[in-house]
Structure 1
Amino acid sequence: MTVRRPLIAANWKMNGDRELVTMMAATLQCIDSSHEILICPPVIFLSDFPKSTQYRLGAQNVSSEKAGAFTGEISADMIRAAGAEYVILGHSERRCLFAETDATVLQKAQQALRVGITPIICFGETLSERQQEKTMWVLAQHLDAVYAAQPDLLAESVIAYEPVWAIGTGLTATPEQAQQVHSFIRQHLARINADAAAKVRILYGGSVNADNWPTLFSQPDIDGALVGGASLKPAEFAAICQMAKE
């Protein structure tokens, strides 16, 4: 049986300040968790977190370019220098609001890997796609566009399943729905590399909180969470991190 260390990742989005950085760092220092804990604040706050073995740091985006005349962009080298070990890519908000495609996500993943940063690559279906029973077809198209195009990426990344209809809405996939999709993702990717597919961590994201997380986390193919709003509340995020998988 493959053992995958759970990963609990906080996506602060465009929220937070230095007071929250201080509160979160202090709260996480006091918990006992066997999980890997990741904080992804706005990039400007990365260097404000004190060094700690309790958590790792990540960014929410990275440029697809190495360097150059790209006003406002931040390179992989820069976020690495600021302390990032992970980066979130392909989040539904980036896809919907900034027209990012799978090709863009792949370019950004390549830049991250170039400097030793692990990409967390997000995939998910819209409400209309789910209602039309196209969830698996949509996910297969996205997965193939990234992983079939670059098979070695599978062993070097983390996947986050984020049903778009559950992002920031208060709606959450049922544990059974989430497990069905996570299992499909793993089986689909096994056609590319069975060993890597068995080992890759697949996170669930979509209005995760301390109340719904225990039942989600009990599912065999859910290896952690990408937490949005609840990650802005240090006590609640710490509670999620402490919940152990049976």
Structure 2
Amino acid sequence: MNVRDILKTAAVFFGWRSVFVIFTLLALRPVTAADAAASAPIPDTLPQRMAACTACHGDHGEGAADSRFFPRLAGKPASYLARQLHYFQSGQRRYAPMQYITKPLSPAYMREMAEYFSVQQVPYKSSPVPTLPTAVLQRGEQIVMQGNPSAKLPACQSCHGKQLTGVEPNIPGLVGLPYDYVSSQLGSWRTGTRASAAPDCMAQIANRLSPDDITAVSAWLASRQPPADTHAQVAGSVNPPLACGVLGAKGDGA
């Protein structure tokens, strides 16, 4: 296990403060020739600055292969990514490591980070899918593609695009996301630890989903292979069925 793996594991299981303990211990150990070589000046490049992100989200934002909770950033709309960084910074979206990382960042820097990951083109990683009855996956497919009118649930694809690759500038893709990440985020909207601009349509939807619905939707999405074209659809290509604060007056995020 390398230093990156140690820091990532510490942040997830023991909290972000544990990372500082590890840094302190590393700093106190005897200096070796390898340490001296490693102390050479680090180039000030944008990829180098993104190291705090890529330690968990993959070298190019492709998502961590060994984790079910660190999502893909690559190729997502820049405005969506920048908005999420702002939400972490303001506490509107709560996750201690991300809140700590974003605290000192300027809006311009967060936008620069978002644009960097939005143009990354890397293959999608597959993630584990729980073994569930076929009927559960079929239920997930129905909700995602057709919705559930009796529960006032619109189809996921009505906002996230027919191919579920997202819509510019503020609607993220759902393909390629791990089961645990999707289910945890829907749970976060239900509990209020994740929120968006009012009216928060995703909070409304998450609270209309039953726990079984969340399992079905998360599993079906995680089981999907990405389409040939994974780019987000152009702005205005969907007609959202709910009023969403992130989409603005035009309904397309502009």
Q: Which has the larger radius of gyration?
A: 2
* TM-score normalised by L of structure 1: 0.26
Identify the structure with the greater helix proportion: 2
Q: Work out which structure has the larger RCO, using CA pairs closer than 8 Å and 6 or more positions apart in sequence.
A: 1
Identify the structure with the greater strand proportion: 1
* TM-score normalised by L of structure 2: 0.25
